Chains A and B, each alone.
Chain A
Amino acid sequence: MKLIELKEGEKAKVLSLFGGSNFVCKVKNMGITEECFIEVLKNDGRGPLIIKQDGSKIIIGRMMASKIEVERL
């Protein structure tokens, strides 16, 4: 499933990133790498999501979130 489909409070494991190298680089620089664990803090069904990864919170736009494949835990 896609990151964008996760609901608030759900945890997931990142499987893969679909996009150009600039996209992959940007997402990985923020700590969202393949195999890492994340938690969705906020997903209103519109506007960006807020996710938690390790100690930090990240705002991620819907367009980017729809290019990240995850597995719900």
Chain B
Amino acid sequence: MSEKIVIVGHPNSGKSSLFNSLTGLDQTVGNWPGVTVEKKEGFFFIDDNKFEVVDLPGCYGLTPTSIDEKISLDYLLSSSPSLIVNILDGSNLERSFFLSLQLFFLDIPIIFFINKMDVAKSKGIKIDFEKLKGIFSCDIVLGSVKNGEGIEDLKILIKKNINKKVCETKYFKVSDKVYLHIEKISELLVKYKEFEKHPKFYSLKVIENDKNFAPSIFKILNEKDLSKIKSIVDEVYKDIKKKDFLTLDWFYSLSRGIVGEVTTKEFSDKKSLTEEIDNTLLNKFFSIPIFLITFLFIFFLTFFLGDIFSNFLSFLFENLSFFLTKIIKEGFLLSFLTEGVVGGIGSVITLIPYIFFMYIFLGFLEDTGYMARVVFIMDRFMHKIGLHGKSFISLVLGFGCSVPAVLSTRVLDTPKDRIKTILIIPFIPCSARLTVLIFFGAIIFGKWSFLVIFILFLLSILFAIFSGFFFDRFLLREKSEGLIMELPDYHLPTLKNLLLNSYFKVKDFLKRAGTLIFFITVIIFLLSYFPKNVEGGFIRVAGEKINFLFKPLGFDVERTVSLITGFFAKESVISTLGVLYKGEQIERVIVNRWSSVDGFVFLLFLMIYLPCIATAIVIKQETGSFLYLFGIIFYSILFAYLISFLVRYFLLLIL
């Protein structure tokens, strides 16, 4: 039998860091609000007792305004954990108590872990532990996850507190009438089995008149209770001006009161280091040039370092094929091993260095806190396509891989914002498409390839922007509500976190895309090998059948087929062509057969047409609708075709 505990805290309070040090299962540690998107579960032992622990997405309070917060609240209400470990930010207690006070209403046992005491100390904040214990009846630990302080104490207290008492604070009772009214309502609600677990929470929602809860609560109540409750609510608002979410003001004033009572802060007039840095990085004139240079530099480094490792890996795989040819000589087995297996694995493995370095550098920007500044800088440009700055982060992630980019839209506040962003992401050139570009670019354009790649890259980004306009004007016209988010202080990231972060991302990529690419390659190989009496096999026959569609773009049968397999994973275009141009070196075939216009148009088409299958799956999952998925598939094919067609005839005319 194991007990279930949950870690709850606001974004950036250190939940994931605590989760890691409890379970020992290291995972991503980020720095911009809302980075914990997936539900992370783990377990650990204290003596012989097993504890399951869940790392919930960050939330500011219990009135959710984003999917992340909704996930957390739903989980707390439905799963009935034995204990909440509420993690507070010792350097920003007002914000933290605001959440803690609301958690009391869930009637679940709770422990406070006040984290980041090292930061609090450096800011000159002192916390009076005894006074704090006088205010709250629950157990409290002061510590710092980063320095490993307080973790052992926490473990001992976790064991002691499981299923124990529900915490109280004298603050509710002395300070305001609101709490008394909430208690009165919950006495009525507790009789209903729907509300018996968290009666105080539902009472709070009734008083707040929270549209996500109140109407459905009223529906369940019988008439007598309903009228009683309504009169209690009227009582609350009798002497005061009616305000939306009055209780939130109340929680804030309580938490400011508590902070005033238990902490002292040395007064300092000096600007903090973060403010000094922001003076430069967010300067009205320099912010955009600095941003552009930073990102250019990161792209340069990613490809510079990626190339070195990737070339080395390619070299190994070539030698492996060579070696196999020497010992097996000929026949099906040789083709299968060299073209199918080694080719398939090779095309996946040589991608890894690019992805790894991309995530290292993106992770670095996240962990330092620069990403939040990017939101600030890009906000006014994103408004032009009806979005705001937070969407830009998802688009940047899209340069790595569309799948995590689509998932990251969960921190956006409204469904319209999310859908718009999700629909643009497939047009951001991801690292897989970039590898395809680099591979073919080098063959077709030689020393000019970097220029051609750059042009294709720009065209593709322009098209993403165009799509943003298009969706904004014709599809989802509703304006976004606008941006509001915390600006974290700068942190120096640890190398360990960066490496672990990238490691898990690459592992995820290998699991998700890698196996898929490998199997596609093997299947393509088999389809092109059999039936043996037909040159080029089954797939060639199929390709010939539909090739007339792509004749106007100048594609041969092989390229047509590779477009189909490219849907499964964009990189598999390379391995498919490798398999289909049988027996010959792919480089030589391309140089001989493709004109540079052909090559350019083919690459352009590849950049725009169809999201890959993994992306398609998450688009369906996150928008919850096949309509958007098929819409985006149709839209992308249509425009890929149109644009490639126009560009081809334009180029043929002028060259």
Contacts and interface: CB of A to CB of B under 8 A. Distances in A.
Given A21-B244, A58-B487, A59-B485, A29 B92 contact: no
Contact of B245 (A25, A60, A62, A64): A25
B317 to A, nearest CB: 47
B389 A28 contact: no
Nearest to A45: B284
A40 B273 CA distance: 18
Contacts of B256: 54
Nearest to A32: B484
B484 A44 contact: no
B485 A58 contact: yes
B372 A59 contact: yes
A26 B244 CA distance: 12
Given A24-B245, A42-B282, A55-B91, A31 B252 contact: yes
Interface stretch (B58-66, B335-343, B571-579): B58-66
Nearest to A24: B244
A56 B413 contact: no
B484 A54 contact: no
Contact of B484 (A21, A42, A61): A61
Nearest to B487: A57
A63 B481 CA distance: 8
B376 A33 contact: no
B63 A48 contact: no
B222 to A, nearest CB: 27
Q: How large is the interface on A (under 10, 10 to 19, 20 to 34, 35 or more residues)?
A: 20 to 34
B243 interface: yes
Interface string A36-59: 100001101011101000111111
Interface of A: 17, 21-31, 33-36, 41-42, 44, 46-48, 50, 54-64
26 contacts: A17-B244, A25-B63, A25-B245, A28-B248, A28-B249, A29-B60, A31-B252, A33-B248, A34-B243, A41-B275, A42-B282, A47-B377, A47-B380, A55-B93, A55-B95, A56-B486, A57-B486, A58-B485, A59-B379, A59-B483, A63-B479, A63-B482, A64-B481, A64-B482, A64-B483, A64-B484
Interface of B: 60-61, 63, 65, 91-95, 98, 123, 211, 243-245, 248-249, 252-253, 256, 259, 275, 278, 282, 284, 372, 375-377, 379-380, 388-389, 413-414, 479, 481-487
Q: Which 4 A/B pairs are nearest by Cβ-Cβ distance?
A: A61-B483, A63-B482, A61-B482, A29-B60
